[in-house]
Amino acid sequence: MIPPASRSISRFSQGLFKGKHPRSLDPTILTSILHHSLSTSHRTLSHQAPPPSIDVSRLVVKTTNAPRAKLPASELKFGQTFTDHMLVVKWSKADGWKAPEIKPYGDLRVDPSASVFHYATCLFEGMKAYKSRDGQIRLFRPEMNMARMNESARRLAFPSLDADRVVELIKALVKLEGEWIPTEAGHSLYIRPTIIGSGPGLGVGPPTELTLFVICSPVGPYYRTGFKPISLLASSKYCRAWPGGSGAFKLGANYPTGFLPQMEANQDGYQQILWLFGENDHLTEVGTMNLFVTLEDESGMIEVVTPPLDDKILPGVTRHSVLELLRSHLDGSQRLDGLPDKFLLSERPITMIEMVEKSQSGRLKEVFGTGTAAIVSSVERIGYKGKDMQIPVGPAGLGTFANVIQQEILGRQTGEIPSDWAVVL
């Protein structure tokens, strides 16, 4: 880990040396400049009195006097039922992070002029907790969600979070709500950490007050069709993300612009959008999921492809986990039953031209999306320029790779497969 001061020097020197050879600068001048930079940074930091981290020891817990009724697991719909309590932590530029509080679920008091209402200063994460048959509760890779949350905070010019401390607070909330976690297959407790700009004022700029809150929702399978494969409309009519934009961050503003395209796709008989970008119609994401495609070359070798991470692709926790599983299978460190011994695993661009060619030659073997809510969603049909491509799927509604990945990740989430990805509470 590079110390903060070293990172400052690195960033400063990278900008200084851009387009120049370092030896063209007098070392004495460089040393003087760097010392000035560090002393300036020190003076700036010395005026930042508010503590940078949330103090977990100050947590206040207020339990409800009116517990909510719990629905049967069979009646749960995604994001419609919420648990008894929520976590709230306030921040202000003047005072820093205030004492965290777990309190009964209820309305937030936010000024009508708050920037979240006017400039969409909002970021969030999606996590899950699972309860195994023995009653143990597990969080799936929470450190990755917190790392991504900090990247989103940086993009919105919010203060950074101490990931470990936020995870500890989430653990406390989930433990309190343990009875809300369903144990039925495919069910879990969905956890939604969110930060909003909550201070008063219509000025355009970083908020001077923030509210971090976490709510929980017991959920069943994300899609009503369960594990039945979905259909996609591949379209470049609308753009989900663009170079230099915010598509690689989990910001609230990224989502509502997909509502109209989604409605139009539904009207045309498709369940989700396959987002395309650029003149060559590069594939990016599936709805709100990362994309994987399985192809076959002329020699019969299988290639699993996912678009590379860039400023148009969200770095999904499930995506990362899928790549880790497939790499461990290929290097022999952890073989996965049901997969071929050898295949290619590529993070590379893929276009609709290649998809059409592979489909016409019978070498488009599998398409699926990955994400926290659904884990894996297989695709059976893609509409593109007025024609449909049919994608092979297995009898259970999942292709070969999607089926193995679904079982492997779910097993780790529930504790049936031992893994350090699952954090036991």
Same-domain pairing of 271 and 380 = yes
Please give the angle made by the CA atoms of 105, 103 and 165, to the nearest 5 degrees: 115
For the chain, how long is the longest CA-to-CA vector?
Answer: 73
Helices (H), 120-162: 142-155
387 three-state secondary structure: strand
Domain boundary among 161, 193, 219: 219
The pLDDT of 144-156, averaged and rounded, is 98
CB 124 within 8 A of CB 193: yes
Same domain, 201 and 235: no
Asked if residues 216 and 83 have their Cβ atoms less than 8 Å apart, the reply is: yes
Which residues have a Cβ under 8 Å from the Cβ of 395 and sit 6 or more positions away?
none
Is 250's pLDDT higher than 80?
yes
Verify that 329 and 180 share a domain, yes or no. no
Average pLDDT over residues 249-278: 96
Which region among 4-13, 184-193, 280-289 has the lowest average model confidence (pLDDT)? 4-13
Flag whether 66 is in a domain: yes
Tell me the pLDDT tens digit for each residue of 43-67: 333 334 455 689 999 999 999 999 9
Task: Name the pTM for this structure.
Answer: 0.86
Q: Is residue 215 part of a domain?
A: yes
- Return the pLDDT at 396: 81
Check residue 98 and give its pLDDT: 97
Number of domains the chain contains: 2
Residue 177 and residue 99 share a domain: yes
Domain assignment of residue 410, yes or no = yes
CA distances from 231 to 35, 101, 376 (A): 59, 43, 14
Sign of CA dihedral 354, 311, 198, 144: positive
Same-domain status, 159 and 266: no
- Pair 236, 354 in one domain: yes
Task: Tell me the sheet residues that pair with 213.
Answer: 88, 194
Two tokens at 248? 């690689």
Per the domain annotation, does 14 fall within a domain? no
Q: What is the mean pLDDT of the chain?
A: 88
- Which among 193, 219, 245 is the end of a domain? 219
Higher pLDDT, 117 or 74: 117
* Cα 224 → chain centroid: 22
Residues spanned by the domain of 128: 56-219
Higher-pLDDT residue of 242 and 20 is 242
d(CA 332, CA 329): 5
Note whether residue 292 is domain-resident: yes
Count of Cβ atoms closer than 10 Å to residue 325 Cβ: 19
Tell me, yes or no, whether 392 and 258 share the same domain. yes
Q: Label residue 251 by pLDDT band (50, 70, 90).
A: very high
Helix (H, G, I), strand (E, B) or coil at 244: coil
* Helix or strand (DSSP H, E) at 401: helix 400-414
CATH number for the domain that contains residue 307: 3.20.10.10
The DSSP result for 263-317, as a single string, is HHHHHTT-SEEEEEETTTTEEEEETTEEEEEEEE-TTS-EEEEEPPPSTTS---H
Domain annotation covers residue 23: no
Do residues 312 and 403 both lie within one domain? yes
Q: Are residues 404 and 285 part of one domain?
A: yes
CB atoms within 10 A of CB 223: 16
User: Where do we find the tokens 């598509």?
Assistant: 247
List the CATH number of the domain containing 75.
3.30.470.10
Q: Which of 192, 219, 246 is the last residue of a domain?
A: 219
Same-domain status, 280 and 179: no
If pLDDT is split at 50, 70 and 90, which confidence band does 24 have? very low
Same-domain check for residues 181 and 293: no
Task: Give pLDDT tens digits for 2-19.
Answer: 444 333 333 323 333 333
Domain match, 186 and 240 both = no
Mean pLDDT value of segment 395-424: 94
Helix (H, G, I), strand (E, B) or coil at 137: strand
